[in-house]
Amino acid sequence: MPYKKLEEYNMQVTDDVKSRYKSIIEDLGENINREGLLKTPERAAKAMQFLTQGYHQDPVEILKSAMFKESYNEMVIVKDIEIYSLCEHHMLPFFGKAHIAYIPDGHIVGLSKLPRVIDVFARRLQVQERLTEDVLDCINDTLKPQGVAVVIEAAHMCMMMRGVQKQNSLTTTSGFRGQFEKIETRNEFLKLIGK
């Protein structure tokens, strides 16, 4: 029995994007009938749907699904969260780590929901600066904590593979709300994530 992978994709979108990829591959000078490329347009169409699925997900609902009343009011940190996104300028990947902290004010959230929120925003065409703000604002507006901090460190393939071609550069972005706007709290967070 042949291998069959079970995935769900919008078939109309898959067919439309597949035909566009086929044209792009041909326009670049490749033979679309070459064995290795026969299924590439469909694979690429499905990959793009997966990599941009954040447009169809609600990060607020993800957080609300696991909010719990709790009196804990000290810093909560989830660090070294892997991120993978596509730069909106060249549609090339950028990837790295995110660090999130919040200080609860009556509610905590299930820890797995914070990486899920990052994934929702990362699985859209993005710039790192907006990704940082999107995550920060979503957590701040939904949980209404005493403070939120987000730091993202990422390598950008648009800088590594083309353009300036700098292989070892990292971009760091950060955002702080509430108690994290105070230098002591911010420094504690940065020390705890090892920066």
Q: Please tell me the distance from the alpha carbon of residue 145 to that of residue 128, in angstroms, as a whole number.
A: 23
Q: Is 194 left (phi over 0), alpha (psi -120 to 50) or beta?
A: left
For residue 193, the surrounding DSSP H or E stretch is none
| The residue count for the chain | 195
Q: Active-site residue among 61, 88, 129, 181?
A: 88
Closest CA relative to residue 113, chosen from 64, 72, 150, 147 = 64
Catalytic residue among 82, 89, 129, 181: 89
Known catalytic membership, residue 53 = no
Choose, from 87, 99, 138, 146, the residue flagged as catalytic.
Answer: 87
Catalytic residue (one of 53, 57, 107, 158): 158
107 belongs to the catalytic site: no
Q: Catalytic: which of 42, 53, 57, 90?
A: 90
Buried b (16+ CB within 10 A) or exposed e, 63-77: beeebeeeeeeebbe
Residue from 150, 141, 88 nearest 115 by CA: 150
Q: Is 87 a catalytic residue?
A: yes
49, 99, 138, 156: the active-site residue: 156
Annotated catalytic residue within 128, 138, 146, 179: 128
Q: Clarify whether 90 is annotated catalytic.
A: yes
User: Across the strands, what pairs with 108?
Assistant: 68
138 given a catalytic annotation: no
Q: Which amino acid is it at 131? A: L
DSSP string for 145-184: -SEEEEEEEEEEHHHHTSTT--TT--EEEEEEEEGGGSHH
88 catalytic per annotation: yes
| Catalytic sites, residue numbers | 87-90, 128, 156, 158
